[in-house]
Every structure is written in C-alpha cells, then in structure tokens.
Amino acid sequence: MITIKVMSLVIEPRVLKGFRDFLPSAEIERRGFVERVETVFRSFGFVPIDTPALEYAEVLLGKAGGETEKQVYRFNDNGGRDVALRFDLTVPFARFVAEHRADLPLPFKRYHIAKVWRGENTQRGRYREFTQCDFDCIGGDSAAADFEILLMMREALSAAGAPSITIHLNHRGLFNRFLSTIDASGKSIEILRAVDKLAKAGKEEVLKTLSTFLDDERSRKILDYVEAKGSWDETFYAMTSAAGSDNPDAERLKTLRDFMLDTGTQDIFKLNPSITRGLDYYTGLVFETFLNDMPSIGSVCSGGRYDNLTGLYSKEALSGVGSSIGLDRLLAALEALGRTAKRKTYADLAIICVDEKRGGLYQSMAGRFREAGIPCEVFFEAKKQSAQFALAESKGIGWALIPDLDSATSGGGSGSGAVILRNLALRQNSAELSIDNAILFLKKNLT
C-alpha cells in the first residue's frame, strides 16, 4: 500500500516533454485502431505476446554504447540492478524467443502492440513514449511467409481506415549481388547509407556522396541500379540484368510476383531498388508503405526479412520476416486526411434523470438497452431537461431517453411505462414508446 501525503502546497499538474495524455476521444480512436488491426492479425492465426517494459540493460543493449545509450532510459533500480526501459519490440522479442524457444511451435507467428520509450529530440516532432505495432513470422525462410506479411499489411491498413497505399519492395540480397558484380561489396555500408537518402536528397546529392569513396563509373552504375524503371517487370529486368537473374534472390522476387498475381493484389506493390531499411539487420526482402494521398509523411509500415533474430542470446540462428505499423504517424496522417471519426464516447443513449429516487429503475431500464447492444449512460441528477440534453451533447451522445414522468415504476403507475426518445442533434422527440419499441427504434436509427 502506497499512500500520498497531501500537502498544502499545490503541485503543478504537467507531463514530461515528449510524453502525452490521451483524452477520451484520442484514446477511443487509438483503441479502435488497435482493435481493428488486431482482428486482422488474429484472422491470420497470429498470436499476441507481452514482455516487461523494464529489462536488464545488458539484455536490451548488449554492449552497445554511443548514440543508443543516449536515447535509452537506463538507471539502477533500488536493488542496484542496471535496468532500462525497452526502446523497441524487436530486441525483447529476440530475447523472448531465445528464452522460450522450447514452447514455441515453428513457424511462430506473433504480434505485439505496446509502448516503448526513447529519449529522442522532441524538436523533430518525435515522442519519447510511443506505441509500436509489430508482427513477425519466425522459423523458416519462404516466399509464402514473406507474402503473408505483405498481405497482412494490406489488410491491416485497410481495416485501420488507411486510404489507398503502395508497398515498395526491394531485396537486399539482390543488391549485394549487384555490388559484388561491380566489385563494391567492401563499401556496402557506406553505399546503403548514401542510397537511403535518394528520396529525400535527390540523385545529384547521392551521386556526390558516392563519388567521395567510389569512382564515377561505379557511382553512376549504383545510381542507375537504385532508380525505379516504371513497371514491376521493367524494374525486375533491370535489377536482374545487373545482379544476375539465376539466383535464389531473383527467384524469390519472381515467386512473390506470382503470388501477387494469383491473389489479384499486384496493383499495390511496386519494386523499388532504392529501399534499404537500415544497415545491418535485414538480409532479404525489405519494404516500406506509403499513403497514396500523402506520400510525404513517409513510410507508415515497414519491415523485412532477417536471418538471425536471436544471435545475441542463443547459438541457434532463427530467421524470419516482420513488419511494424507506425501507429502515431499513421493516425496523424489519417487525421490530416479527415479520415478519423472523433467519437467522445461509446454511448448512444443517455437516460435522463427525472426523479433521483428512481436511480435503480433507471439502471434496470438502461440494462435492457445494454443487453440489446446499445451502450447507455445513466444521468444521476434531476436537473432541468435542457441542462441534461446539453450534458449529453457535450459528451457526444446522440440520443436521450425521457422516462415516463407519471409511472411510479417503469412498468406501473400510469400503466403505460412509456418513454420518449429525443434526437439531440435534430431536437426532435419521438412519440411515446414502450422500452421494447424504443430499442427497435434506436437500432433502426443508429448507423
């Protein structure tokens, strides 16, 4: 039991920079989003897991230092342990898989939606507490697994209300093969770093960067490789001409293309050889997702295939493919596009209080609507009806129920037990209705 001593001095109520409260309308929207994507994940047989917010710093950070260290909330707990708040869901997943390997049938398909913490510079509009939404399939390397993740991205974003999307794909293995053919594998890290800036910095800038450590011919060949050529087939032909068509990586892209055609989903996919997704984690397919109506906001769902998830914690190499929805970014985009519904409540109906002694009866009445699937808030104070209507509207409730004024019980008194429903936006009252008919009436009128 923890008790707080109330002081005479008032403490300023405020949150830390980069942290947020979620008021009901924002939280209803976020939960709706999560519920819709979860329904999709579950429909594909993906299962949820959860891990601690706080872990041994050694487990989360390995021996990493420098930039990572500065962003992580790390401290000594009261027992002197060196601990840190998780900064992503990938590292805890790797630790989880290594620890519980014997209990996980492979392929293991999991999703994890949870908060993470990074002490990032908030001036770039970043939050220090934000939600990640990851889904991965580990244990096996197949085109079918890659394709399933891509299909789930499409279904989840559609369920979340995202307008039309384009998923840009690339294959890191094929890119490495190409670098080999021009004898530039030794510089792959620097090259990836330069190419990653193509969309933002433009061709000239990338060429300039490449020229600082490569000759002009190879720099131009790289730029040529990473530029999209138009259609999937054209780009695929250009990539395999440069990197070789008769290898497993080209084959993988070809099989994925077949799966797209077989499912009629090819229109949302674009082969884009400039997609790199970071430097040393992904080894196969990589992908980013852009909203067609707002590509400038950046990728809202990204990921790829990796060949050794658990290397830090286990000698068994487990490969997999995974993706992550940028929930905060996507919600911001949907809001800017006017595609969010700002609901303040789940309740469709307010029960007006006419007589405070009837509090029990109002709850019984409300229970009838709740059982019929109509969420319903009961008002407690017998204020003027106009004040109660205004309260209902300020709470975002569309309908009010005015109980029978005469009857002593919901079914007795005047004998009618009738109620009146009021459409608060239209300021229109229904005729007198029995509870049963009021339920039918509302069900018909609620969209």
Judged by CB under 8 A, the chain residues 31 through 90 that form the site for a second copy are 31, 42-45, 47-56, 58-59, 61-64, 67-68, 70-73, 75-79, 81, 83, 85, 87-88
Judge whether 207 and 219 are in contact, CB under 8 Å.
yes
Q: Does 3 bind a second copy (CB under 8 A)?
A: yes
SS3 sequence of 168-234: EEEEHHHHHHHHHHCCCHHHHHHHHHHHCCHHHHCHHHHHHHHHCCCCHHHHHHHHHHHCCCCCHHH
Region binding a second copy by CB under 8 A among candidate stretches 136-144, 178-186, 231-239, 422-430:
136-144
Cα–Cα dist 225/179, whole Å: 10
Query: Minimal CA–CA distance to 305: which of 324, 286, 290?
Result: 286
Residues 309, 313, 314, 316: what is their CA dihedral angle, to the nearest 10 degrees?
Answer: 0
> Of 78 and 212, which has the nearer Cβ to a second copy?
78
Binders of a second copy in range 181-240 (CB under 8 A): none
Residue 168, strand partner residues: 270, 288
x/- contact string, 250-279, with a second copy (CB under 8 A)?
Answer: -----x--xxxxxxx-------------xx
Binders of a second copy in range 381-410 (CB under 8 A): 381, 391, 394-395, 397
| Residue of the chain from 135, 147, 225, 287 that contacts a second copy (CB under 8 A) | 147
Q: Does 443 bind a second copy (CB under 8 A)?
A: no
Binders of a second copy in range 367-386 (CB under 8 A): 367, 370, 375-378, 380-381
Binders of a second copy in range 308-347 (CB under 8 A): 308, 311-315, 344-347
x/- contact string, 281-310, with a second copy (CB under 8 A)?
Answer: x--------------------------x--
If one counts every other C-beta atom within 10 angstroms of the C-beta of residue 23, the result is 9
CA atoms lying within 13 Å on the CB side of residue 216: 0
> Of 23 and 431, which has the nearer Cβ to a second copy?
23
If one counts every other C-beta atom within 10 angstroms of the C-beta of residue 136, the result is 25
Measured in degrees and rounded to the nearest 5, phi and psi for residue 312 equal: -70, -25
Q: Does 153 bind a second copy (CB under 8 A)?
A: no
Give least dist CB 68 to a second copy, A.
Answer: 5
Q: Does 360 bind a second copy (CB under 8 A)?
A: yes
Cα–Cα dist 321/327, whole Å: 19
> Of 207 and 312, which has the nearer Cβ to a second copy?
312
Region binding a second copy by CB under 8 A among candidate stretches 19-27, 159-167, 204-212, 282-290:
19-27
Q: Does 1 bind a second copy (CB under 8 A)?
A: yes
Q: Does 102 bind a second copy (CB under 8 A)?
A: no
Query: Minimal CA–CA distance to 192: which of 249, 277, 270?
Result: 277
> Of 346 and 441, which has the nearer Cβ to a second copy?
346
| Residue of the chain from 22, 189, 247, 445 that contacts a second copy (CB under 8 A) | 22
Judge whether 287 and 154 are in contact, CB under 8 Å.
no
x/- contact string, 108-127, with a second copy (CB under 8 A)?
Answer: -xx----x-xxx--------
Tell me which DSSP letter residue 101 carries. Answer: G
If one counts every other C-beta atom within 10 angstroms of the C-beta of residue 96, the result is 20
Token readout for 17 is 């920079």
* Number of residues in contact with a second copy under rule CB under 8 A: 130
Cα–Cα dist 331/27, whole Å: 12
| Residue of the chain from 33, 37, 89, 96 that contacts a second copy (CB under 8 A) | 96
Cα–Cα dist 223/208, whole Å: 11
Residue in this structure with the two tokens 């976020």, named with its chain if needed: 30
Q: How many Å separate Cα 13 from the centre of its chain?
A: 29
| Residue of the chain from 33, 37, 89, 107 that contacts a second copy (CB under 8 A) | 107
Give least dist CB 185 to a second copy, A.
Answer: 19
Give least dist CB 316 to a second copy, A.
Answer: 10
Give least dist CB 415 to a second copy, A.
Answer: 19
